[in-house]
Structure 1
Amino acid sequence: MKTKNFFLAVITFLAAFPATLEAYTERNLLQSKITREQISDYLVTQQKWVDYPSYADREGWDKLLGKNKETVIRNGEKQLKHEWKVITATDYLEFERSGNRKIMESPFDANNYAIVQLLLAELAEGKGRFTDQLINGVFHTCEMTSWALSAHLPNQPSGRSLPSYEYDLIDLTAGDLGNILAWTYYFMHDTFDKTDPEISRRLYHELDKRIMKPYLEDDRFWWMAVNYKEGNMINNWNPWCNSNALMTFMLLENNPQRLEAAIWRSIQSVDKFLNYVHSDGACEEGPSYWGHASGKVLDYLVLLSDITGNRINFFEDSQIRNMAEYISNSYVGNGWVVNFADASAKGGGDPQLIFRFGQAIGSSRMKQFAAYLKQKQKNRITLASRDFYRILEGLKADAELSGYAPAHETPDFIWYPETQFCYIRKGKAFFAAKGGYNDESHNHNDIGTFSLWVQDTPVFLDAGVGTYTKQTFSSERYKIWTMQSNYHNLPVVNGIPQKYGRKYKAQDAEASPNEFRLNLKEAYPAEAGIKDWIRSYQLKNNQLVIRDKFSLEEAIAPNQINFMTWGNISIEGDKVSISRENISATIKFNPDEFEASKETIPLTDPTLSNVWGKEIYRISFTAKRLSKEGNYKFTVSF
Structure 2
Amino acid sequence: MRSLSADRLLEKLSRPELATLYTDLKAYAERALKEPMPSLSFRLYRQFSDTGERKAYEEAYFDRRGRLAAVAMLALDTARPDALQALEEMLWDVCGEYTWCLPAHLGTGEINQVDGNIDLFAAETVHMLAEIVNIHTERLDLLVIERVRSEAERRIFKPLYREQRKFHWQTADHNWSAVCGGCCGMAALLLLEDEFTLQESISHTVSCMNAFLSGYGEDGGCAEGIGYWVYGFGYYTYYAEMLREYSDGELDLLTGSKIAAIAAFPLRVHLSGGTYVNYSDSAEQEEIPSGLLSLLASRFGLQGDLPLHIPLFTDDSCHRWAHLLRNVMWSDPAVYGDEGAFRQAECGFIFQNLGWMIAKGSLDTPDTKRTNSTPLHVAISIKGGHNDEPHNHNDLGQFIIHCGGENILCDPGAGLYTQAYFAPGREQLFHISSSGHNVPLIEGKEQSSGRQAQAHVLEAKLAEDGGELNTTFDLTFAYPGAASLACYTRQFYWKMASGDSRNRAELRLIDRFQWKSRMVSLAERSSSVVSDSHAECSSVVERWMSRVQPEVVKCGNIRWQGVHGTVHMTYDANQWQVLTEGIDTVDHDNVPVKFYRTSLSWTGVIDETDVCIESSDLIETVCEVRFIIEPKMVETEVSMHE
Q: TM-score range by the shorter chain?
A: 0.7 to 0.9
Matching of residues 465-614 of structure 1 within 5 Å:
465-513=414-462, 514-541=469-496, 542-553=505-516, 554-556=518-520, 557=525, 558-571=539-552, 572-605=554-587, 607=589, 614=593
Residue of structure 2 equivalent to 1:307? 246
Would the aligned equivalents of 2:439 and 2:542 in 1 still touch at CA under 8 Å? yes
AA aligned to 1:545 is: R
- CA displacement at 1:137 relative to structure 2: 1.2
Decide whether aligned partners of structure 1 residues 567 and 361 sit closer, same or farther in structure 2, where only a CA change above 3 A counts.
Answer: same
Would the aligned equivalents of 2:549 and 2:596 in 1 still touch at CA under 8 Å? no
Q: Which of 393, 401, 407 is matched with 1:458 structurally?
A: 407
- CA displacement at 1:509 relative to structure 2: 4.4
Would the aligned equivalents of 1:285 and 1:341 in 2 still touch at CA under 8 Å? yes
AA aligned to 2:358 is: Y
Matched residue SS, 2:407: strand
Cα distance in structure 1, aligned partners of 2:481 and 2:214: 32
Matching of residues 200-239 of structure 1 within 5 Å:
200-216=145-161, 217-225=163-171, 234-239=173-178
Cα distance in structure 2, aligned partners of 1:188 and 1:350: 24
Range with greater deviation from structure 2 (453-462 or 378-387) = 378-387
Q: Which of 284, 307, 310 is matched with 1:373 structurally?
A: 307
Would the aligned equivalents of 2:291 and 2:329 in 1 still touch at CA under 8 Å? no
Deviation by residue 1:90-129 (Cα, 9 ceiling, x = unmatched): 2122112332211111111121111112221112336533
Cα distance in structure 1, aligned partners of 2:187 and 2:254: 23
Decide whether aligned partners of structure 1 residues 107 and 418 sit closer, same or farther in structure 2, where only a CA change above 3 A counts.
Answer: same
Would the aligned equivalents of 1:535 and 1:549 in 2 still touch at CA under 8 Å? yes
Residue of structure 1 equivalent to 2:367? none
Matching of residues 47-58 of structure 1 within 5 Å:
50-53=2-5, 55=6, 58=7
Any unmatched runs of 5+ in structure 1?
A: 1-48, 155-159, 226-232
Residue of structure 1 equivalent to 2:300? 361
Work out whether 1:151 is the aligned partner of 2:101. Answer: no
Q: Which of 74, 82, 91 is matched with 1:121 structurally?
A: 74
AA aligned to 2:472 is: R
Decide whether aligned partners of structure 1 residues 543 and 403 sit closer, same or farther in structure 2, where only a CA change above 3 A counts.
Answer: closer
- How large is the RMSD of aligned CA atoms in angstroms? 2.5
Residue of structure 2 equivalent to 1:393? 326
Residue of structure 2 equivalent to 1:637? 628
Q: Which of 169, 185, 202 is matched with 2:117 structurally?
A: 169
Any unmatched runs of 5+ in structure 2?
A: 364-377, 463-468, 497-504, 526-538, 607-618, 630-642
Cα distance in structure 2, aligned partners of 1:184 and 1:348: 24
Cα distance in structure 2, aligned partners of 1:432 and 1:224: 33
Matched residue SS, 1:522: helix
Cα distance in structure 2, aligned partners of 1:457 and 1:203: 46
Deviation by residue 1:597-627 (Cα, 9 ceiling, x = unmatched): 11211245574757xxx52211111112355
Matched residue SS, 2:158: helix
Would the aligned equivalents of 1:574 and 1:589 in 2 still touch at CA under 8 Å? yes
Would the aligned equivalents of 1:253 and 1:259 in 2 still touch at CA under 8 Å? yes
Range with greater deviation from structure 2 (313-322 or 442-451) = 313-322
Residue of structure 1 equivalent to 2:95? 142
Residue of structure 1 equivalent to 2:466? none
Q: Which of 347, 357, 360 is matched with 1:412 structurally?
A: 347
Matched residue SS, 1:467: coil
Range with greater deviation from structure 2 (297-306 or 508-517) = 508-517
Decide whether aligned partners of structure 1 residues 150 and 606 sit closer, same or farther in structure 2, where only a CA change above 3 A counts.
Answer: closer
Cα distance in structure 1, aligned partners of 2:576 and 2:568: 16
Decide whether aligned partners of structure 1 residues 102 and 597 sit closer, same or farther in structure 2, where only a CA change above 3 A counts.
Answer: same
- CA displacement at 1:444 relative to structure 2: 0.4
Matched residue SS, 2:476: coil
Decide whether aligned partners of structure 1 residues 340 and 183 sit closer, same or farther in structure 2, where only a CA change above 3 A counts.
Answer: same
Matched residue SS, 2:128: helix
Residue of structure 1 equivalent to 2:40? 87
Matched residue SS, 1:503: strand
Would the aligned equivalents of 2:273 and 2:404 in 1 still touch at CA under 8 Å? no
Cα distance in structure 1, aligned partners of 2:424 and 2:29: 43
Matched residue SS, 1:125: coil
Residue of structure 1 equivalent to 2:209? 270
Residue of structure 2 equivalent to 1:9? none
- CA displacement at 1:584 relative to structure 2: 2.1
The number of residues matched between the two structures is: 560
- CA displacement at 1:320 relative to structure 2: 0.7
Decide whether aligned partners of structure 1 residues 268 and 164 sit closer, same or farther in structure 2, where only a CA change above 3 A counts.
Answer: same
Would the aligned equivalents of 2:40 and 2:60 in 1 still touch at CA under 8 Å? yes
- CA displacement at 1:305 relative to structure 2: 1.0
**Aligned residues: percent identity?**
21
Matching of residues 271-350 of structure 1 within 5 Å:
271-347=210-286, 349-350=288-289
Greater relative contact order: 1 or 2 (C-alpha under 8 angstroms, separation 6 or more)?
Answer: 1
Q: Which of 360, 371, 391 is matched with 1:425 structurally?
A: 360
Matched residue SS, 2:578: strand
Decide whether aligned partners of structure 1 residues 455 and 362 sit closer, same or farther in structure 2, where only a CA change above 3 A counts.
Answer: closer
Deviation by residue 1:322-365 (Cα, 9 ceiling, x = unmatched): 111110111111232111111112225222221111112232x1
Cα distance in structure 1, aligned partners of 2:604 and 2:454: 28
Range with greater deviation from structure 2 (170-179 or 381-390) = 381-390
